[in-house]
Amino acid sequence: MARTRYASDRGLTSRMLVTMFLLGLVYVVAVGAFFVFVPQWAFIALAVAAVFLLAQYFFSDKMTLFAMHGRVVTPEEAPELHGVVDRICAMSDAPKPKVAIADTDVPNAFATGRNQKRAVVCVTTGLLRRLDPVELEGVLAHEMAHVAHKDVAVMTIASFLGICAGLITRVGLQVGLFGGFSRRSNDQNTGLILLAVVAASALAYAVSFMLTRALSRYRELSADRAAALLTGRPSALASALTKVNGEIARIPTSDLRSAQAFNAFFFTPALGKGFSVSSLFSTHPTLDKRLAQLSKISEQLSRGV
* Binding site as annotated, residues: 142, 146, 220
CA distances from 226 to 92, 143, 234 (A): 10, 10, 10
Does the annotation count 299 as an active-site position? Answer: no
Chain length of the chain:
305
Residue 266 has φ and ψ, to the nearest 5°, of: -80, 160
Nearest to 214 by CA among 14, 54, 57, 62: 14
Cα-based torsion angle of the residue sequence 199, 200, 202, 206 in order, rounded to the nearest 10 degrees:
130
Those residues whose C-beta lies under 8 Å from the C-beta of residue 23, and which sit 6 or more positions away, are 158, 161, 162, 165, 208, 211, 212
What is the C-alpha separation between 159 and 110, in angstroms, rounded?
Answer: 16
Active-site pick, 135, 143, 247, 299: 143
Which residues contribute to the annotated binding site for Zn(2+)? 142, 146, 220
CA distances from 82 to 18, 22, 122, 151 (A): 36, 39, 11, 23
Catalytic residue numbers?
A: 143
